[in-house]
Amino acid sequence: MTLSYSCIGDGAVETRTFTIFATHFLDLAALDVNHLEVENFHFPPQVTYVDGQEQLSPTHKLRKGPYNGPLYER
């Protein structure tokens, strides 16, 4: 995660480079707190239950703001 933060925080933000950065590190969503030029977007999954098991399916709908869950766990 340190490398990811370094690439975004020290690289793209400081040089004001337009960057699309995809990651599964939800902690990186906090970058927009200290950097006004950073915006968060996410693709929320559709949550369904099959035989009592949670199923996540992609919606392909882009939403503004950080992803809040549910998280994929195994």
Query: What is the pTM assigned to this prediction?
Result: 0.63
Mean pLDDT, residues 42-60 taken together: 90
* Cα 31 from Cα 26, distance rounded (Å): 10
Percent of the chain with pLDDT over 70: 77
Mean pLDDT, residues 49-68 taken together: 90
pLDDT at residue 72 in the model: 62
pLDDT in tens, 15-48: 777 777 777 777 777 778 877 888 889 888 898 9
C-alpha distance from residue 53 to each of 18, 40, 47, 71 (Å): 40, 29, 10, 14
